[in-house]
Chain A
Amino acid sequence: MNAGSELLSVEHVSVSLSGRAVLRDVNFKLAPGELCALIGANGSGKTTLLKTILGLVRPQSGAVRMAGASGRVSGMGYVPQKISFDPNLPLRARDVVSLGFDGGRLGLPLPSRERRARVDQMLNAVGATGFAERRLGELSGGQQQRVLIAHALVRRPRLLLLDEPLASLDVRSVAEIVLLLRRLATEYETSVLLSAHDMNALLPVMDRIVYLANGSAVAGKPEEVVRTEVLSRLYGYHIDVVRVHGRVVVIAAEAPDEIHAAIARDPIHTAEVP
């Protein structure tokens, strides 16, 4: 990729948390307006990678570069992993989006026409106008996710990071949120990086995917990455990528525990398809 065209570049990033290597030499780039999924099983390091990009986790080596970034977290919006909100928290959907606009500032929030307009516009953009006056804790999972996306986007970041935004949503909400993100990425020219453990709802609309396994990553277009030989190399043992009824299934030839035991006995052993 030629210099200057990418918005985000993650370069040789390695992260250890309390002595355990979580990410090893992770590399990928993201262009402006691209929609990218970070795929991996639970515990594969997705959250750590997102937090490293945000600047909340410091890598042991390597670097994260945002084109034209200044300051610690400038230019990024973030939707964390499923938070359970107290239904008694006296914050309406509208207030949550307002806090995205200037929640870090000191002093009392004086009424501002600019804030009001931006919040209204953002609520509209994510389809949350209908429940803008209701408490966050009273909303459904899909509605909360829309509000949190508006919270993260209201300052017009160039990069939006979402940690498992589709987990614990019903099938219809998953489809709606994916299409919403696709539309927002195009409309606002914001790059979107979202993590997920199931890629099926995402593959048709993603420009790029980053596949994480055992702390290592491969990145590219979906059809370049989700292939038997690429993922087998990443996992370090044979896996099959199978397409059934338009769905992609990744199957390990043997249970991973047995393979790890085999590798420990014989370092050059490679599992074969039975």
Chain B
Amino acid sequence: MIGMHALLHVIFASGFLANRPVRAALAVGGGTAVVSAVVGVFTVMRGQSFAAHALGDVSSAGGSASYLLGVRPMVGFIGMGVLAAAGMEWADMQDARERDLATGVILGAGLALTALFLYLDTTSGSASGAAIAILFGSMFTLPATIVLPALAAGAVAVVTVGALYRPLLLSSLSAELAAAQGTRVRLVGLAHALALALAVSLSAMSVGAILSPALLIGPAATALRLVNRPGLAMALAALLGIAAVWGGILLAYDSYYWTPGHGWPVSFFIVSLIFLGYVVANVARSSRK
């Protein structure tokens, strides 16, 4: 019993659950993992992980602009992400073969803006930590007031995917089959892109814009290796995502005690755990065959 207590004390370093930034990080991170799982399974099935990556980079332009404008980073992330998602769908509507090109060009433009805004952020001096926070995340500096709006934005994405579950599956299977059943394939695609923008923005706030696709694609891709049903894949991806995010937060908190004076970045731990899960799932799957 005493041994167990000692072990728990080593795992949950003192004050972990009582710490306010930790609680905000657990709430936003856990919510983000669930939203990422639900949206991410469709993103993987539709072969749009490149779009997810581009949206993450573009939303960082919004995040960095928000420091200059003095608004919440979340507003900037989501606003820019939604604009970029709509732009990609519009380009797809003009010419489906242009989709990848348009995504690439929008990605470049977004990063250029990010470079400009981050430069202005750092030279203005008021937000010197902005660059690291935007690009690589800073879960422990999330204000408690962000928890509710972030979870609300996530809920919008989850409800959208839930409402369009069957038309999304059908159009992921084949756009032609969906159109023949009277599904408005473009509208469904646009709705998915907007849900994706929300998920990527949340993910960017948690693990940073650069690493956001890892949280979106990693657990979903891992789950799709292991189970045969989309609904089950979402549930499994959510569990894997929560495990990685909460595990990463715990390790980052503990790391303050490993190297006294400074901790290790939480995003590093989260993405490492996701990567580890993906490798293990692949090994498990190939050894089963």
Contact = CB atoms under 8 A, between A and B. Distances in A.
Interface stretch (A24-32, A88-96, A170-178): A88-96
A72 B180 CA distance: 9
Interface stretch (A106-114, A196-204, A225-233): A106-114
A54 B228 contact: no
Interface stretch (B15-23, B111-119, B163-171, B246-254): B163-171
Nearest to A163: B176
Contacts of A92: 228-229
B181 interface: yes
B173 A90 contact: no
Interface stretch (A97-105, A122-130, A186-194, A263-271): A97-105
A135 B230 CA distance: 12
A99 B173 contact: yes
Interface residues of A, number: 33
Interface residues of B, number: 28
A107 B45 CA distance: 19
Given A106-B166, A108-B162, A73 B182 contact: yes
A104 B183 contact: yes
Contacts of B227: 90
Main secondary structure of the interface of A (DSSP, over half): loop
A102 B181 CA distance: 9
B229 A103 contact: no
A99 B229 contact: no
A236 interface: no
Contact of B169 (A73, A91, A107): A91
A88 to B, nearest CB: 6
B180 A78 contact: yes
A150 B83 CA distance: 40
Given A80-B174, A105-B166, A108-B162, A54 B180 contact: yes
Contacts of A83: 174, 176-177
A238 interface: no
A151 interface: yes
A95 B172 CA distance: 13
Contact of B230 (A71, A85, A91): A91
B280 interface: no
Interface string A242-271: 000000000000000000000000000000
A80 B165 contact: no
B178 A89 contact: no
A202 B227 CA distance: 40
A56 interface: yes
Nearest to A107: B163
Given A80-B177, A151-B177, A104 B167 contact: yes
Interface string B151-193: 0000000000011111101101110111111110000000000
